[in-house]
Each structure stands twice: as structure tokens, then as C-alpha cells.
Amino acid sequence: MLRDISPQQHQLEMVTLEQLVPQNHLVRKIDTTIDFEFIRAEVADLYCKDNGRPAIDPVMLFKIMLLGYLFGVPSERRLMQEIEVNVAYRWFLRLSLTDKVPDASTLSQNRIRRFNGTDVFQRVFDRIVEQAIAKRLIGGRVLYTDSTHLKASANKNKSINKLVAASTSAYVDQLNAAIEEERKAAGKKPLAPKDDSVCELSEIKASTTDPDSGFMTREGKPQGFFYLDHRTVDGRHGLITDTHVTPGNQHDSQPYIARLDRQLQRFQLEPVAVGLDAGYNTAMLCHLIKARQIEPVMGYRRPNKGKDLLRKSAFDYDKDSDCYRCPQGELLQYSTTNRAGYREYKSDRNKCKDCPIRSRCTKSENHTKVLTRHVFETAKEAANETRLSAWGKKIYKRRKETVERSFSDAKQHHGHRYARFRGLEKVQMQCLLAGAAQNIKKMALLLAA
């Protein structure tokens, strides 16, 4: 027969938090693996030493923020409610069953008033990476980089069109130097310097809600206001070594070299190769990566040409004579090097005029075929040869197992589909904390198994 259940909510029991937290819980593995005490020293300069009310332990504050990203709790208010009832979270934060949980405003106001505007989140992320290196979980032999989009907290229909200064390539100085060297070697006059007083303008769509976001229009991607998280992971275990945020309308290649140099200097990494998708496959980037004694392994995107037009691959380049030969055997001679960094090769119009395949070769009214070749095209061709080698194929195959898997895990479990905040600086904080949380989780699972 059924018995009546007596209420036991007020029954006294002798119990400890140690008994209530399962031995295989993730927070136990993290507590065993990761040393968080460095946080106190990293933020000491943000606190007054001899005045004001006693502060909440900063180690606890950062552990609370990391819990939100570890377990995919997007709201700080909801996170505090979870800590209130979750004994594993209390154990991790060193709170007893009767200790009062800090108010959600305490967390948000410390973040807004004390931590925002500083590089403390970057320093915390870096120290976690250093712990992974010390534990030999990061080898630094191959680094994989890609970007993913985070939906900005902005309606794409609430925008204005505005004129802004046209963006300049991050590598314009190196390119200009190479152009001048090329023209000098060919006996050409130096290009006239640009008039700095004349500013080129371009029209962009800007959000009225979050002006820092960028309007993204990419093939196969959603259209709207987004941020881009440019993430680099190590090839050994897929641990994140860098995360950098830009507006959604910035090209992937622009921040790459600066972020690569930062990793090489900050963590003393010595990679032999980097794995990148086709969006990074530019001659400039290939040259700059090779200049750092690193082999670029990049994806390839077939040029979008009409079915009836001859592709550039139909023309053979002769390195010794520095000219192209068309399918009909005629030469395209070097003409000049333009301001964009491309050598121009032109055909003889008199020979092209009566060519039987001219309609497939060029639509030019003056019957002249023009081919261009970047000043650093040799580096790009070498990168393509590496991609087709057995070693290159093996390196590139690992992309989907490292950086793509890292993004997938971030979106599925760590709230990386949407920007939680507005403003570039705050979204950068989100990506740093999410990256640190993913590293912490993976380090714990690898070492405390």
C-alpha cells in the first residue's frame, strides 16, 4: 500500500558540500587543473589599497563570469539564480550552503565600472594559454585560423547610409615599397604620391543601435549586422591561442598578420605552418607569412569566369623572359606595374585583331588582351604547390577538426551565436571569456580524465 510522504524541507541533516558534488563533475576537474590565483595579482591595480568598502574577491568574480560561459548561461541575473541553487557552482566558488550569493548588479557594475576599458580580460585569457603551454597541451607547430560571425544586437532595418573614409589595407606600406622596387627595376618612373588632403570616401550601411557592428554580405552567410570573431587554435588539441573581434564587414585577411605576430611574440611560438581557408589566399598574405619562415597551407577558390572565356591558367607564364604565352603561341609582354601592386602584360593588338579565338579571349574594344600578375604572385604559387602536396593535404585536412570544431562547440554550448553586448570592446570581452572557458574545459577534460 502507498504511504504518505512527510515533508522534509525543514529536517536538519549533517552534510557537507564535498559530499553533494559528484566526483566526476566538470567543476571538480577544472578546480584540479586550473590555477585561478593569478587573477588577484592581475587586477590589483584596479582596486584601492587603503580606502573604500571591502571588495568581493576578484577571483570569485571572474570564476562567476567563466561559469556563465562554461555552461552557456547568457544572462548574468539568471546565472546568479543558478548559483543560488546549484551546489556544484557554490563548491567551485568556495561558497557555503548558507553564504549569500552576490547580487547580479554587483557583477555587472564591477564589469562596467572596473574592468571595461582595461586589458584585464586579454591578460586573463593569455595566462590561461600560458598554463596550457606549461602543461604541454599547446605545441605551436601548426596554427589554424578562421573567423565566425556573431549576430549583433541590432535590427538590420534600423540603419542609415553614411560616408566614411575608404579603408586602407593593413599591408599598404609593404605593398608600396614592393611596387616602387618593381618599377625601378623595370626602368619605370616612380608613381606620383597620393594627395593626403584628398580623402576617398565610401558609403556604408551603419546601425543606429550598435554603430560598432558591420553590415555583412557574404555568399552563403546571413545578411545583417554582425561581428566577426577571428580565432586561432593550436593543432595539437585545438586549444585557442588568440581571439580578435572586428566588425562584420571587414575582410578576414586584414587583421591576420598583426594577430599572428602577437602570438609569436607573446607566447614564443615557433610554428612551421599555418592552416587557412580560401578567404586568406592572397598573394600579399602568402608573402608575409613566408617572410616569417612559416609555410602557408591555404584553401583554393576557383575563379568565377564565364563559360566561354579563357581562364588565366590557359596562358603559360615564362619566368625567365617575364611574359605570358597565349594558346595561339603569341606573347603578352610586360607593360607596367600599377598602384594596386599588379604587373600588367599586354598582347599585340595587330596580332589579336584577326585571332580565331579572340571572342573567347577578350571583349576589349581595342583588341588587346591584358593579364595581371601580383608582385608577390610567386609566393602564392608556392603556397598552392604546398596545398597540393601530401604534407599540405594532411595539414589542411586538420582544419575541420580544430578551428571549425572549436567554433561549432562555441556556438552549440557557449552562447557564441549572438553578441551579448553592444560595442566592439564589450564583444571582444565576450569572445575572450568564451575562449578562456573553452580552453579551461578542454584542459580539464584532457588532464583530469
pLDDT in tens, 317-338: 998 888 999 988 889 999 999 9
Q: Dig out the grid coordinates for 448 from the structure.
A: 583530469
Decide: 225 and 214 in contact? Cβ < 8 Å.
yes
| Model pLDDT, residue 16 | 84
Residues 6+ apart with CB under 8 A from 278: 298, 299, 300, 301
Distances (CA, A) of 5 to 13, 15, 227, 417: 18, 22, 55, 45
Give the separation between CA 307 and CA 334, rounded to whole angstroms. 27
Query: How would you classify residue 386: left for phi > 0, otherwise alpha for psi between -120 and 50, otherwise beta?
Result: alpha
Which of 91-105, 247-261, 270-284, 354-368 is least confident? 354-368
pLDDT at 1 over 70: no
Average pLDDT over residues 25-43: 94
Of residues 391 and 54, more confidence is placed in 391
Of the candidates 288, 339, 371, the one whose C-alpha atom is nearest the C-alpha of residue 183 is 339
**Of residues 202 and 378, more confidently modeled:** 378
Backbone angles phi, psi at 176, to 5 degrees: -60, -40
The residue with greater pLDDT, 12 or 119, is 119
Q: Is 179 exposed, middle or buried (0-12, 13-18, 19+ CB in 10 A)?
A: buried
pLDDT band at 297 (very low <50, low <70, confident <90, very high): very high
Whether this model's pTM surpasses 0.85? yes
Please say if the pLDDT value at position 308 is more than 90. no
Helix axes 26-33, 424-447, angle to 10 degrees: 90
Q: Helix or strand or coil: residue 268?
A: coil
Q: Is the pLDDT of residue 305 over 70?
A: no
pLDDT for the residue 154:
92
197 pLDDT higher than 60: no
C-alpha to C-alpha distance for 294 and 273, rounded to whole angstroms: 5
